Amino acid sequence: MVFENIDFEKSISELNQSPKDVGSEVAFVGRSNAGKSTAINSITNRNSLAKTSKTPGRTQLINFFKVNENKRFVDLPGYGFAKASKEKQKSWNRLVTNYIKYRQSLKGVILIIDIRRGFGEMDLMFLDFYLPLNKQLHILLTKADKLSKQKQSLILNEAREIYGSIATIQIFSGTKKIGVTEAQDQVIRILESTK
Ligand code: GDP
């Protein structure tokens, strides 16, 4: 499967606006600025695909991208915007958690973690919520180009020790194209999983 025909489908602010819940979806999650858009762009080999999700008014919506008739990428709003009000953060929570909980076609999540910052409070809260759902999880330790090879593998090994039994984890850099093929393979694995 290649993603060259991927295209923006729609943004939603209410679950009932979602595309029909059939086929399979992979969702991208992470704190704002972790590198989610850059990761989506490099995995799809499309330089400005995820820009759509960054246009004003869209950053707090769920954005759907269609790969083909029955496969979609889903860009979830980044958690922890400095500027969002408490009310907006709550509605982020409700929209996203309900989407993740009830969406039949959601096969798995790609969690984006800035390798230098590691797992933050929101990432851990996300994992607490997500893991009991028993869906697939793949973690990208991104912006790896900012660390030495030695430091990268140290952190990867640490992360695998802690999360290796519940997730696959890799080193990644969207800007320096590190681990892109591995990430593509994982996305395909999730989209093709039958669970
Ligand atoms: P998002 O808010 O999670 O979608 O994050 P973006 O993809 O917009 O990235 C946030 C900032 O981090 C931007 O300035 C990117 O250029 C930078 N960035 C993203 N990925 C990488 C990476 O792999 N390496 C480096 N060095 N910078 C990155």
> Which residue owns the Cα nearest ligand 1 atom 28?
143
What number of helices (H) and strands (E) belong to the chain? 5, 7
- pLDDT score, position 66: 96
Task: Check whether 45 has a pLDDT greater than 70.
Answer: yes
Our CA angle for 72, 46, 38, nearest 5°, is 85
- pLDDT score, position 11: 93
Residues 139, 149: Cα–Cα separation, whole Å:
18
Task: Check whether 52 has a pLDDT greater than 80.
Answer: no
Task: Check whether 81 has a pLDDT greater than 60.
Answer: no
Tokens of 23: 């086929």
Minimum-distance ligand 1 atom for the alpha carbon of 50:
4
Q: Is 174 in the pocket of ligand 1 (CB under 6 A)?
A: yes
Q: Is 77 in the pocket of ligand 1 (CB under 6 A)?
A: no
Q: Give whole-number Cα distances, 9 to 62, 161, 189, in Å.
A: 11, 38, 22
Handedness of CA 164, 46, 114, 134 (dihedral sign): negative
Ligand 1: distance of its center to the CA of 16 in Å?
Answer: 31
pLDDT band at 112 (very low <50, low <70, confident <90, very high): very high
Residue whose structure tokens are 């400095």: 82
Ligand 1: distance of its center to the CA of 104 in Å?
Answer: 30
Residues 180, 44: Cα–Cα separation, whole Å:
9
Distance of CA 142 to the CA centre of its chain: 12
Minimum-distance ligand 1 atom for the alpha carbon of 173:
23
Q: Is 78 in the pocket of ligand 1 (CB under 6 A)?
A: yes
Ligand 1: distance of its center to the CA of 95 in Å?
Answer: 25
What percentage of the chain has pLDDT greater than the value 90? 74
Q: Is 143 in the pocket of ligand 1 (CB under 6 A)?
A: yes
